[in-house]
């Protein structure tokens, strides 16, 4: 048997790994029960999208449904919303309100991905990494 340089008991390590797998399997089962749409609406809320439109529909629903109808949801709401903030100078909530009123078509906005990435890298290297991490987590969840 291999000897630990840190004095770890490998039986305890193996047991901890087994427990971690049980927990992660339970979390995955829980997460798998939620649709992409529900996750994207939650991300909208985390970005500050709140309130309802003139018909009483929650603004996160308005925004995600709009993106789904336009075929723009495949990469998630965050890149589209981030681009809209960058292109318009408006807050995520203001963007959702304008989309709900039919006053803003996100599909017609220039796609400033390179500019967006440059700005994020310049102001905070970690911000872009965190956005990419969220994308990767979403992709991993969707695959399972």
Least Cα distance to 45 among 68, 74, 77, 73 occurs for 77
CA-based nearest residue to 81, from 71, 94, 69, 70: 94
Continuous segment of H or E residues that includes residue 20? helix 10-32
Hey, where are the domains in the chain? 36-143
35-84 per-position pLDDT tens digit: 578 889 999 999 999 999 999 999 999 999 999 999 888 778 998 999 89
Specify the pLDDT at position 73: 84
pTM value is 0.57
**Residue 104's closest CA among 46, 136, 63?**
63
């Amino acid at each position: 048997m291999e000897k630990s340089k840190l004095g770890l008991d490998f039986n305890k390590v193996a047991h901890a790994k087994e427990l971690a797998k049980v927990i992660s399997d339970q979390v995955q089962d829980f997460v798998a029960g939620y649709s992409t749409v529900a996750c994207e609406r939650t991300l909208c809320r985390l970005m500050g999208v709140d309130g309802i439109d003139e018909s009483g529909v929650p603004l996160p629903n308005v925004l995600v449904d709009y993106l789904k109808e336009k075929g723009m949801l495949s990469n998630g709401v965050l890149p589209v919303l981030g681009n809209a903030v960058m292109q318009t100078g408006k807050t995520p909530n203001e963007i959702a309100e304008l989309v709900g009123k039919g006053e803003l078509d996100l599909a017609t906005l220039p796609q400033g991905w390179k500019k967006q990435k440059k700005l994020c890298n310049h102001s905070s290297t970690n911000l872009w990494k965190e956005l990419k991490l969220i994308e990767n987590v979403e992709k991993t969840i969707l695959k399972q």
